[in-house]
Amino acid sequence: MKTGFTVLIAGGGIGGLTLGVALRRAGIAFRIFERAPAMLKVGAGISMQSNAMLAFRTLGIDSQVAAAGQQINAGGILTPQNETLNSMMVREVSEAAGAPMITLHRGLLQDVLHQAVGDDCLTLGAKVEGYRDGPDGVFVKLADGTEVRGDLLVAADGLRSAVRAQMLQEPAPRYSGYTSWRGVCEVSGGVRPDYTSESWGPGVRFGVVPIGNGQTYWFATANAPEHGVDQPDARTELLKRFAGWHAPIPQLIQNTPNSAILRTDIHDRPPIKQWTKGRVVLLGDAAHPMTPNMGQGGCQAVEDAVVLARCLAVEAELPAALGRYQALRVKRANEFVTRSYRIGQIGQWTNPAACWVREKLLKATAPTHVTQEMRSRIAFSAP
């Protein structure tokens, strides 16, 4: 891009911060507008698979990300009675890719990115509500009534992006049919530090993910109406739902304060092929919100950021840069949206006969086949 070119970024989450780091490395001016008044350690755990770690390597921060979390070497899908249905050879996949799979607290990942971005280009307590696009630039409208001019607006403001809503004027996000609970706690024994698992029952699942620093991130899903409320509280509800399931599931729930359990309905959006319009472009969940069943939501946002920054750095004109970004990213990210949605639907089956077939198919799938499928999805190289 020409001298004086400025990128405005709506949202200071994983995608927005990573883009800031990538733009700084490329020497492109930017400003990030984050609606939260402070960069707090919020959320639970997150998985940065090898593809994301390779993307971070191009920015020189992969070692910092790895140091903040836990390397995963193996994984599996289990029954509620702890019988292995399928195994994932994560270490072999990581070695083939040339980068590890790291799980960590989302807040710690945010800290790493924040430190790499710095504070000089980050504005907190600034909610982006819309924009004006024109031949002389794009003007971001903030909630306090002010406008800020730039040459490009990147919507990194999540599933319910205000920028995407103005750009595309589409229906509300799609509800998956199931809700989720997430938490982080310490538990003594019963958690192998380099092994992640999901246990599948009829209409319910429970995931166990060590994230380093003596902590374990866990998540649960259950078929439920949208906008449900736990009665009398989340921990009581979960202890009832997962009573009799294998260790350390009950212990993880019991060791997590009720106030620290996050309940979130799972939504996504059907894939779209248009991510750019004029001087506006979508990134991360604003472009391709997906269900969490493949652990690739954050990873794809990181890929988006690295690729977009590279396109802006090598193309002289904005339309060419945005066209190249869209051509490189749309198909790959949308495939994850579609596959993740399908996996979630299968994982939430309730019919006993269907669940029996599901278990038989999982047992019959060779670990080498799973390994090859994982390799195909974590391949990443900057354009």
Residue 161: Cβ within 10 Å count: 23
pLDDT, tens digit, for every residue of 26-37? 999 999 999 999
The verdict on residue 185 lying in a domain is no
The mean pLDDT value for 138-161 works out to 97
The verdict on residue 199 lying in a domain is no
- By residue range, what is the domain housing residue 48? 6-173+269-378
Query: Which residues lie closer than 8 Å to 94 by C-beta, 6 or more apart?
Result: 50, 71, 73, 100, 101
Closest residue by Cα to residue 311 from 4, 84, 28:
28
The verdict on residue 228 lying in a domain is no
- 112 pLDDT above the threshold of 80: yes
The mean pLDDT value for 78-93 works out to 94
pTM: 0.95
Closest residue by Cα to residue 10 from 129, 170, 134, 136:
129
Q: pLDDT grade, residue 191 (50/70/90)?
A: confident
Which pLDDT score, from 0 to 100, does residue 190 have?
Answer: 77
Beta bridge partners of 183: 218
The verdict on residue 143 lying in a domain is yes
Domain count, the chain: 1
Phi, psi of 308 (to 5 degrees): -60, -45
In the chain, the percentage of residues whose pLDDT exceeds 70 is: 96
For every residue of 15-33, DSSP letters joined together read HHHHHHHHHHHHT-EEEEE
Distance CA 304, CA 323 (A): 13
CATH number of the domain where residue 155 is located: 3.50.50.60
The verdict on residue 45 lying in a domain is yes
Mean residue pLDDT of the chain comes to: 94
pLDDT, tens digit, for every residue of 35-77? 999 888 778 999 999 999 999 999 999 999 999 999 999 999 9
The verdict on residue 1 lying in a domain is no
The verdict on residue 238 lying in a domain is no
The verdict on residue 59 lying in a domain is yes
Q: pLDDT grade, residue 19 (50/70/90)?
A: very high
- 367 pLDDT above the threshold of 90: no
pLDDT, tens digit, for every residue of 127-136? 999 999 988 9
Contact yes or no for 126/134 (Cβ under 8 A): no
